[in-house]
Amino acid sequence: MGILTPQQIRQFADEGYLVVPGLVPESAVAAGNAAIDRLLAERPPPEGHVGSYALVEKPPESRPALLALLTGTPAYAIAEQLTADGGLTGPTHVQVALTYPPYRHRPGSGHVDGLNKLTQDGRVTSFTLLVGVLLSDQTADNMGNVHVWPGSHLAVAAYARDNGIDELLARSAETAHPPIETTHRTQVRGRPGDVVFAHYLLAHNIGGNTSPIIRRTVYMRLKRLGHAEHWRQALTDPFFEYDGVRAATARP
Ligand SMILES: O=C(O)CCC(=O)C(=O)O
């Protein structure tokens, strides 16, 4: 028995993301925040900084309290439930995403990570699933919450099928913003300890923060084993790497 209900899996399939509340216990949230405090003592942002400040830690084992937000909690089992049991690799790094207030910002559209970054052998630096662990209060809008465009994962895959992957990449080359119509957006809300699971193809972007607190989210990226070989199929068939979603939603 998996942790997610079939209804939650259908929601992930339709919208491209899912927030699961209370996955990370308070003690792990506190340990994660303490690790971020130590990181910021080592590499603080410039004096008076506002807006986004991201720290990327490699290998993730160098920050065990951050890696444990995924591997030491039910978040990893949920990632496997959506994709395949024992079928994931990564993360290769941990991204600490901070947003310093006051930051009055509203992104115009969303990007797909790496659609503008190719490896030396011409592959996209894509992955399968983004896992974001909220470590600060984001229960209202404009608290640094990530903006997402629900359903855009389906639209990007449809664009790739209809126009070809090369055209998708060419049109996304400057900014990683895919050439799709994205009208409906929302801000991901949640409490510390809640976890957002987002499909690789979901358009998303950094949001503003007009709250009094620094926004803290820790992101980790997971790939299906063999992703380097089948990344093209994963761009055109959004559930190619999601065995769990296909099984729960009776998708082909
Ligand atoms: O800051 C955020 O929540 C979003 C970060 C983001 O867009 C990214 O890492 O690709």
Distant-in-sequence, close-in-space partners of 246: CB < 8 Å, separation ≥ 6: 239, 252
Q: Is 3 contained in some domain?
A: no
- The predicted model gives 29-41 an average pLDDT of 98
Q: What pLDDT, on a 0 to 100 scale, did the predictor assign at position 1? A: 66
With the CA atoms of 191, 128, 84 and 160 taken in that order, what torsion angle do they form, in degrees rounded to the nearest 10?
A: 120
Point out the ligand 1 atom lying closest to the alpha carbon of residue 132: 3
Q: Is 1 contained in some domain?
A: no
Domain of 29 in residue numbering reads as: 11-246
pLDDT tens digits, residue range 131-168?
A: 999 999 999 999 999 999 999 999 999 999 999 999 99
Q: Is 52 contained in some domain?
A: yes
Q: Report CA-CA distances (Å) from 225 to 85, 127, 139, 219, 230.
A: 11, 10, 35, 19, 9
Q: Whose CA is nearest to atom 4 of ligand 1?
A: 206
- The predicted model gives 59-74 an average pLDDT of 98
Strand bridging mode 204-205 / 147-148: antiparallel
Rounded Cα distance between 60 and 47, Å, is: 27
Q: How confident is the model at residue 121 (pLDDT cuts 50, 70, 90)?
A: confident
**Residue 61 CA to ligand 1 centre (angstroms):** 21
Q: What pLDDT, on a 0 to 100 scale, did the predictor assign at position 2? A: 80
CATH code, 140: 2.60.120.620
Q: Whose CA is nearest to atom 7 of ligand 1?
A: 205
Q: What percentage of the chain carries pLDDT values higher than 70?
A: 99
**3-state DSSP call for residue 32?**
helix
**3-state DSSP call for residue 53?**
strand
pLDDT tens digits, residue range 72-117?
A: 999 999 999 999 999 999 999 999 999 999 999 999 999 999 998 8
Q: Whose CA is nearest to atom 2 of ligand 1?
A: 206
Q: How confident is the model at residue 252 (pLDDT cuts 50, 70, 90)?
A: low
Q: Is 2 contained in some domain?
A: no
Q: Is 5 contained in some domain?
A: no
pLDDT tens digits, residue range 135-145?
A: 999 999 999 99
Rounded Cα distance between 5 and 3, Å, is: 7
Q: How confident is the model at residue 221 (pLDDT cuts 50, 70, 90)?
A: very high
Q: What percentage of the chain carries pLDDT values higher than 90?
A: 90
Number of domains in the chain: 1
Point out the ligand 1 atom lying closest to the alpha carbon of residue 99: 1
Q: What pLDDT, on a 0 to 100 scale, did the predictor assign at position 45? A: 98
Q: Whose CA is nearest to atom 1 of ligand 1?
A: 206
- The predicted model gives 52-76 an average pLDDT of 98
Rounded Cα distance between 148 and 55, Å, is: 21
Residues having CB closer than 6 A to ligand 1 are 52, 95, 97, 113, 146, 204-206, 217, 219
Q: Is 55 contained in some domain?
A: yes
Q: Is 216 contained in some domain?
A: yes
To test the pocket of ligand 1, the residue of 19, 113, 117, 219 to mutate (highest count of ligand atoms within 8 Å of its CB) is: 219
Q: Is 223 contained in some domain?
A: yes
Point out the ligand 1 atom lying closest to the alpha carbon of residue 52: 1
